[in-house]
């Protein structure tokens, strides 16, 4: 199918794709939902056989299936949102990890000692937590970002949980 035909096909079902995004709950402002819906459309376009049914029906089921898969992935990760960071006296807009490790800094000395006692995984997560964000970020958003990053790296959920528990125990 040439590019012009693909564009024409998309224009004919674009409303349906965005309606499914809204039904899903993310609407068109949630980039993940829209991207997933477009992926469903691309799969539908690639697998549609004109003799077996209308394109709109095929698109509906492919996009709906893609969005359902996204919802399942979100729910499988939801349990990891309960991970808590222990309170640390590190200002969110303060110096980076390098300054915290500076010689003569009592916090830096304690932190170096802690990192030497933690597993490699826990030390990595703690270092990620200390990287300053470009904008002020609440601890829950920082935690969620680190968890998503680790899961995207291929860490198993159990590994993520155990790592955060190790840090909490060491700081507790």
The Cβ of residue 164 has, within 10 Å, a number of other Cβ atoms equal to: 25
Domain architecture of the chain: domains with CATH: 3-80 (1.10.1740), 84-171 (no CATH)
Tell me if the pTM is above 0.75: no
CA distance 56 to 44: 9
The CA distance from 143 to 60, in Å, is 35
Q: What is the pLDDT along the chain (172 residues), one digit of tens a residue?
A: 788 888 899 999 999 999 998 888 766 667 778 888 999 999 999 999 989 999 999 999 999 999 888 877 776 655 544 444 444 444 444 444 455 455 555 666 777 788 888 898 888 888 888 776 655 667 777 788 888 888 877 888 888 888 888 988 887 7
CA pair distance 114, 13, nearest whole angstrom: 56
Residue 89: both structure tokens together: 């006296």
């Amino acid at each position: 199918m040439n590019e012009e035909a693909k564009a024409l096909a998309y224009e004919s079902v674009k409303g349906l794709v965005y309606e499914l995004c809204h039904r899903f709950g993310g609407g068109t402002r949630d980039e993940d939902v829209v991207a997933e819906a477009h992926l469903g459309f691309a799969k539908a376009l690639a697998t549609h056989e004109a003799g077996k049914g209308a394109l709109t029906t095929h698109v509906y089921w492919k996009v709906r299936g893609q969005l359902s898969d996204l919802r399942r992935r979100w729910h499988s990760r939801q349990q990891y949102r309960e991970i808590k960071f222990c309170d640390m006296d590190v200002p969110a807009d303060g110096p980076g990890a390098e300054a915290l490790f500076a010689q003569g800094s009592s916090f830096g000395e304690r932190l170096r000692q802690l990192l030497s006692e933690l597993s490699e995984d826990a030390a990595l997560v703690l270092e990620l937590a200390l990287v300053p964000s470009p904008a002020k970020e609440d601890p829950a958003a920082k935690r969620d970002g680190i968890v998503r990053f680790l899961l995207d790296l291929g860490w198993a959920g159990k590994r993520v949980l155990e790592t955060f528990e190790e840090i909490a125990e060491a700081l507790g």
